[in-house]
Amino acid sequence: MIASTGSAVRERTRDTFDDNRDAIFRRFKNVPYSPDTGVSADELQGMADAYLLEHADQPRILQKASIFRLVLTRGRIDIDPLDWFAEKIDHGDVLRKLTHGARGDQDFGPGLWLEEAAAGALKRGTDWFDQARDHGVTTGPRSGLDLGHISPGWDKLLARGLTGLLDDTAQARASLGDDITEDQAAFYNALEIVYGAAIDFASRLSVLAEKTAEVYADHAVNLLEIGSALSNVPANRPRTFHEALQFMWIMHELIEMEGENVRSMGQFDRTLYPFYRADIEAGRITEDHARELIKYFWHKWYCGTEGAANGKNFVFGGQAANGSENVNELTYLALDAYEELDTPDPKLSVRYLPDSPDRLYRRVADLIRKGHNSFVLMNDPPAVEALVKRGKTPEDARMYLPIGCYEPAVEGKEVACTMNVTVSLAKPIELALNDGLDARTGARLGPATGDAAGFTSYDEFHAAYITQLDYVLNNSHDNIAQAEREWPRINPAPFISGAIDDCIASGTDISAGGAHYNSVGFVGAGLANAADSLYAIKKTVFDEGRFTMAEIVEATRGDFAGREDMRLYLRNRVPKWGNHAAGVDEVAKGVADHFCSTVHSFTNGRGGGCQAALFTLVAAMSFGALSGATPDGRKAGESLAPGVGASYGLDTGGVTGLINSVTKLDFTETPNGSVLDVSLHPTAVAGEDGLHAFVSLIKTFFAQGGYAIQFNVLDADTLRDAQRHPEQYASLQVRVTGWSVYFTTLTRKEQDLYIARIAHAG
């Protein structure tokens, strides 16, 4: 075992991250794997293919585990002498190609097992989702099977280590005795294979770190520290703050290699604080070096995304299972590191309680107004109550992590597939106007609900809308449930399963419903467009008699050609959601309530519940591009509204009106998340008075029951100048939805949309 180098760490006298960050980035992107360390990715692929041929009758979970071991024991490895963390293996995505295909921004076609299911048992559902996706009805993963929103139990992993999980496995197996089933035996065998392989992999890296230290003597301090860490983790509980970070990083990479996207890295300031505090008290680390380690650690995720993907979520604040608040000195140290790092990835979620310290509000608000906007701010009372309503204990609900962007899941106990399907709440308006047909292609997408031109009451049109929406929701549910029943054959996941409560005890993989809680997410997008369209018909046709249903149908089918007067009236003269207007707000709440209650009536394919969410992410643009004109005055192809807020440019009542509308929704009925997007002009939050106003706005939103909120603090002139001179704005960040990116990485169309959005806010 390599000796601990804690004393060497204490002797460090100068920071190195800023000196090394660019070189680390380059090596991360172009890893110089040495042939001396293993076989190539192509050779691994050939060996995996041969294994599958030779073991065709083996349970898939064992096939998966055996190939996992093959990759970790035979693949080429590398360690960057400038870095403080190691994980590099040239795995060639062998496992993902076997299961479901994509990793990050790489897409190498559908995985072998998913494609097999899509062409066989899941053909009906795959075909239905393909048509729905192509016409702007739904979006989401193929066949409705979400394999990309998950998080392990970080507390459990750090407390037990992989040897602890192996001990648990042996005890669980022994307790079953002769009653063990073939599936349980296969699961336990798979755990032993993958955890043993991970421990061996860490040992390989540890040995390589020691050898590399001999070659790069100037970097021996960090290399020997890496070697020491990997001689202990992930096999055992970390001994230091550095080892805890190394543990989390290598587990992240191995889980994603197995085939699951880790969408939350845990409650940073709660989980890691004991390691940090112990190091400080023992003199093993200084605050400065801890901040440096955090920057090196977080830089790994930026290296993977380059600030152009959907980010990795780290959570701060909130509460422990007993309700005590988590905020501590590590919270603020990490926020300092984030400011110095100055990249859009990772992204940070901050959970607030009614009595959260004003210092936390002010620090986060100050970071956002300075352009460090990779934050979503979450309100614990409605978030926790929403989970309790869906069957979680209060203690478990308090331990939620935002999975992905804003979708809560109980850490270490819940497999929350939060993005199985996103449903356009606006598309059923188009279908109700066209008897279930798509206005653009004429394809039948919904049931026949009658000729809307002949409807004689608002209730008749509203009923047609609900029929179309329910048709989409019920078909989505049926097909998702079928896909989940095929999950064990598509992507068994033993490596992450052991870190989720109940899987080891029951001998059941997460793919087969082994987790303590199993949920499926239904996301509703474009609430503003649905509500504004319904209210426009109610007011202008049936209350005022200004237009007829026949005129509305004809105008929307023709994209308002020759009826610009009508479109402008519908857009500008009819009250809109997001302005504290009672009539349209009531309609919006009705749509949201119906969507949520319908989703919550479903049972998923793993025996758990389905959970509703209200947000849009990138679906706002993709849905809009495939949708015809709508009675809210929106033209065909235009984007839907962002988040749960107003349509672009139509929140004329300002941020106060927007908040007053949005908080009329019952967010205890959105256990899968929701968010309000707010754009502010820099002058509105400048100086001490501006900071106070900013904090007051956040607190008001929370006090009124709002769920989550995120901000852009920008002015349109800056964005226009960035379009003209992108080389001068390489670090300009914008909050696009559930993540932030560099403005210059957006397409011109996306940039123009943001400029229009910010110009309105200004």
> Which residues have a Cβ under 8 Å from the Cβ of 57 and sit 6 or more positions away?
none
Could you tell me the residue range of the domain that residue 650 belongs to? 414-675
Residue 649 and residue 581 share a domain: yes
Residue 267 resides in a domain? yes
Distance CA 327, CA 359 (A): 10
Residue 576 DSSP label: -
Q: Which of 410, 438, 454 corresponds to the end of one domain?
A: 410
Residue 713 resides in a domain? no
The whole-number average pLDDT for the span 474-482 is 98
pLDDT band at 734 (very low <50, low <70, confident <90, very high): confident
Q: Strands 708-713, 88-89: parallel, antiparallel or unpaired by DSSP?
A: unpaired
Q: Which of 387, 410, 433 corresponds to the end of one domain?
A: 410
Residue 465 and residue 317 share a domain: no
The whole-number average pLDDT for the span 11-39 is 87
Distance CA 267, CA 273 (A): 10
Residue 716 resides in a domain? no
**Residue 221 is which amino acid?**
V
pLDDT band at 732 (very low <50, low <70, confident <90, very high): confident
Residue 521 and residue 562 share a domain: yes
The whole-number average pLDDT for the span 675-703 is 95
Which tens digits make up the pLDDT trace of 737-751?
665 677 777 788 878
Residue 680 resides in a domain? no
Question: Residues 114, 100: contact at Cβ < 8 Å?
Answer: yes
Question: Residues 409, 419: contact at Cβ < 8 Å?
Answer: no
Residue 399 and residue 433 share a domain: no
Helix (H) or strand (E) holding 194: helix 182-215
CATH of the domain at 336: 3.20.70.20
Indicate the pTM of the whole model.
0.94
Residue 28 resides in a domain? yes
Q: Which of 362, 390, 410 corresponds to the end of one domain?
A: 410
pLDDT band at 553 (very low <50, low <70, confident <90, very high): very high
- Among candidate residues 46, 76, 51, the one with its CA nearest the CA of residue 65: 51
Which tens digits make up the pLDDT trace of 625-639?
999 999 999 999 999
Residue 447, classified by CB atoms within 10 Å of its CB into exposed (0-12), middle (13-18) or buried (19+), is middle
Residue 424 and residue 392 share a domain: no
Residue 613 and residue 515 share a domain: yes
Residue 460 and residue 579 share a domain: yes
Number of domains in the chain: 2
53 CA to centre of own chain:
36
Residue 484 and residue 577 share a domain: yes
Residue 751 resides in a domain? no
pLDDT band at 10 (very low <50, low <70, confident <90, very high): very low
Q: Strands 347-352, 313-317: parallel, antiparallel or unpaired by DSSP?
A: parallel
Residue 552 and residue 597 share a domain: yes
Q: Is the pLDDT of residue 11 over 50?
A: no
The whole-number average pLDDT for the span 90-117 is 76
Higher-scoring residue by pLDDT: 307, 69: 69
Residue 439 resides in a domain? yes
Tell me if residue 505 falls in helix, strand or coil.
helix
Residue 609 and residue 564 share a domain: yes
Question: Residues 330, 297: contact at Cβ < 8 Å?
Answer: no
Longest dimension (CA), the chain: 85
Task: Report the pLDDT value the prediction gives residue 332, as an integer from 0 to 100.
Answer: 98
Q: Strands 138-139, 106-107: parallel, antiparallel or unpaired by DSSP?
A: unpaired
Percent above pLDDT 90 for the chain: 85
> Which residues have a Cβ under 8 Å from the Cβ of 12 and sit 6 or more positions away?
221, 289
Residue 479 and residue 341 share a domain: no
Residue 430 and residue 301 share a domain: no
Residue 697 resides in a domain? no
